[in-house]
Amino acid sequence: MRVLFCVSEAVPLAKTGGLADVGGALPAALTALGTDVRVVLPRYRGIDSTGWREVGAVDVSLGAKRLPVTVLDGQMPESGVPAWLIDQPQLFDRAGLYGEGGQDYPDNLLRFTCLCRGMLAWLERQPWQPEIIHCHDWQTALVPAIIGAGQVRRAATLLTIHNLAYQGLFPAEQFEVTGLPPSMYTMAGLEFWGQVNLLKGGLVFADLLNTVSETYAQEIQTAEFGAGLDGVLRDRSRDLFGILNGVDYGVWDPAHDPLIPARYTADDLSGKRACKDRLQDEFGLAADPDIPLIGMVTRLADQKGLDLVAAILETLFAAGAQLIVLGTGDPRYERMFSETARRHPRKSGVRIGFDNALAHRIEAGADLFLMPSRYEPSGLNQLYSLRYGTVPIVRRTGGLADSIRDATPQALRAGTANGFVFADYTPQALLRAAQRALAAFRDAATWRTLQRTGMTADFSWAAAAKKYVGLYERAMARSHDRARAG
Ligand code: ADP
């Protein structure tokens, strides 16, 4: 099966969030299953292009503009999966992927139309033709619409929704940049309350849709989580699936992780104690293995439940906990955590920024990991935490609901509990879960059981990749049916 994996970020080349982890790991897992995968993404400024070679060029029409695009051919650095980089320096040689200083680039419609159209124009000339084009989020959601308009050769399409809140909204005047016929700018197409909505186009025209957990696939069909698109998604309910993201244990495993001070396994946790010592020391916290240390690594966005954290901080410290936060994003939350760390220098530490190595050190050195998200399509950090013996406290939503089993007495007895879960989006509910977690931390036997259950669980990509192959087959069948129906 030939799959073109069309994505706007992929580790280790470019990353702003969980999408990049998927962009790096899923193609590798699909390749391991014998799928013929090729990745395509923009050539951003940060990408080192040694080893890549220029293989051709196409001109892309973007409304009134015509831009030259060069294609580089090479391999994804760690997995060796074949890949194309779409090179258009005016659009992609910039400091950010989607924007700078918290502001999106105003020409993002042009930029990502260029990615989609450049890629499709290049593909028209290739002997290698994908049976499936797998698109991700608004940045590549235009591909199914372009195929739906009959403007390029047909291939089956799957669109994966990683976060429904980011839709690619643009002023109506920019619609002509997409090159789609005006007849597609309607309520049944890309129009959304007077604006262009790229994600909506993908939701309407892709052969199949999926999102990154089964619970989120259900949630987004409701008004509460649907971000205005729940009606569109309910219309496609039969074609919408959920597949939980996997973990790349080649990168996230304390038994082999070169980025942490000491390695450890479920059978010998002495290395984890060393990691905690070093982390407390690095942040100037009181150095004591018996103090429960809570970690957070997160985009500082409303989605992540940070207002709940703000509301219970003082109570947590009074209960004897420490908190370390690594994150960047909304200046409000950056200030909040920085001020907290100043007020409680021995109990709280913060690092504002994006720092992958520190993310690993926090996963390894913390006892507990906090993710009280308002919504969480899949979530990766709770899965990383499990493997690092760092017990997650999560809200029951999306992928958190699908991966974390609350430590009720029954679940503990059955050996299925791996964390602490609360349901209501209130500070009280979070606090109750946190207090249960702190009590469990002080009970060595319970804690050991929780850690072991988490560390020995298997959320590797292999299982998820098999499910994706199943969806590809279904999407191909659907595309054939549509083609036959004319
Ligand atoms: P989202 O995709 O909503 O940001 P996920 O939990 O699915 O949330 O994935 C987040 C990914 O980004 C994880 O790999 C996490 O370690 C990483 N990450 C988020 N913020 C930072 C940061 N400030 N520094 C380093 N890594 C981060």
Q: Is the pLDDT of residue 359 over 90?
A: yes
Mean pLDDT calculated for residue range 201-228 = 98
CA 110 – ligand 1 centroid, Å = 27
Report the alpha-carbon angle 293-299-305, nearest 5. 70
CA distances from 192 to 167, 177, 198, 232, 327 (A): 10, 17, 9, 11, 32
Q: Is the pLDDT of residue 17 over 90?
A: no
Residue 8: helix, strand or coil by DSSP?
A: coil
How crowded is the C-beta side of 250, counted as CA atoms within 13 Å? 13
- Closest C-alpha among 153, 137, 174 to residue 378: 137
Mean pLDDT calculated for residue range 75-84 = 96
CA 381 – ligand 1 centroid, Å = 7
Q: For residue 482, name the pLDDT band (cuts at 50, 70, 90).
A: confident
Q: Is the pLDDT of residue 186 over 90?
A: yes
Mean pLDDT calculated for residue range 428-451 = 98
Q: Is the pLDDT of residue 484 over 90?
A: no
Q: For residue 102, name the pLDDT band (cuts at 50, 70, 90).
A: confident
DSSP 110: H
Q: Is the pLDDT of residue 243 over 90?
A: yes
Candidate from 299, 306, 395 with most ligand 1 atoms within 8 A of CB, to mutate: 299
CA 69 – ligand 1 centroid, Å = 31
The pLDDT value given to residue 483:
85
Does residue 154 contact residue 486 with C-beta atoms inside 8 Å? no
Q: Is the pLDDT of residue 139 over 80?
A: yes
Q: Is the pLDDT of residue 476 over 90?
A: yes
Q: Is the pLDDT of residue 101 over 90?
A: no
Mind listing the domains of the chain with CATH numbers? 2-246+462-485 (3.40.50.2000), 270-458 (3.40.50.2000)
Cα 363 to chain centroid, rounded: 17
Give the residue, by CA position, lying nearest to ligand 1 atom 2: 18
- Output the ligand 1 site: residues, CB below 6 A: 17-18, 21, 297-299, 326-328, 354-356, 359, 378-381
Which helix (DSSP H) or strand (DSSP E) does residue 89 occupy? helix 89-92
State how far the Cα of 486 lies from the Cα of 371, in Å rounded to an integer.
47
Q: Is the pLDDT of residue 165 over 90?
A: yes
What sign does the dihedral 204-205-210-212 (CA atoms) show? negative
The pLDDT value given to residue 199:
98
Candidate from 21, 216, 297, 400 with most ligand 1 atoms within 8 A of CB, to mutate: 297
The annotation places the binding site at: 15
Q: Is the pLDDT of residue 332 over 90?
A: yes
In the sheet where 156-161 sits, what is the strand order?
Answer: 53-62, 65-75, 82-87, 36-42, 2-6, 132-136, 156-161, 208-211, 240-242
Please give the residue that has the higher pLDDT: either 237 or 101.
237
CA distances from 472 to 176, 201, 348, 376, 479 (A): 31, 20, 47, 24, 10
The pLDDT value given to residue 432:
98
Percent of the chain at pLDDT > 90 equals 97
The annotation places the binding site for ADP-alpha-D-glucose at: 15
Residue 402: helix, strand or coil by DSSP?
A: helix
The string of pLDDT tens digits covering residues 374-427 is: 999 999 999 999 999 999 999 999 999 999 999 999 999 999 999 999 999 999
Phi/psi at 286 (nearest 5 deg)? -55, 125
Average pLDDT for the chain: 97
Q: Is the pLDDT of residue 486 over 80?
A: no
Mean pLDDT calculated for residue range 123-150 = 98
Q: For residue 458, name the pLDDT band (cuts at 50, 70, 90).
A: very high
The string of pLDDT tens digits covering residues 303-324 is: 999 999 999 999 999 999 999 9
